[in-house]
Amino acid sequence: MKRSDALAAIRSEVEENIGKKVELSADKGRKKIVTRVGYIENAFPNIFTVRVSNEYDESLTLSYTYSDILTSTVKMKVVS
């Protein structure tokens, strides 16, 4: 599968899950993995945004690229 086909498949999967609760595990390097739970807010042509709450009950918007998922820098799992 070509890279552009894979990115299109990831983009369509993210668009299908807008508004759903997801768990994201991001590899920040040096064996540091950050896991966050939030809701997919929007999907744009090159990025998608996720609304998460931190330990102080503040709402944050994080953005990720589709290539982050393709390269396994970010792993996304839909949570029921």
Nearest CA to 46 among 4, 2, 1?
Answer: 4
> In the chain, where do the E strands start and end?
21-27, 33-43, 47-53, 59-65, 74-78
What pairs with residue 33 in β-bridges? 27
Q: Structural domain tally of the chain?
A: 1
For 1-59, how does the pLDDT look when each residue is reduced to its tens digit (9 = 90+)?
A: 677 899 999 999 999 999 999 999 999 989 899 999 999 999 999 999 999 987 787 89
pLDDT value at position 54? 78
Residue with tokens 């894979």: 6
pTM: 0.86
pLDDT value at position 1? 67
pLDDT value at position 12? 96
pLDDT value at position 25? 96
13: domain range?
3-78
CATH number for position 60 = 2.30.30.100
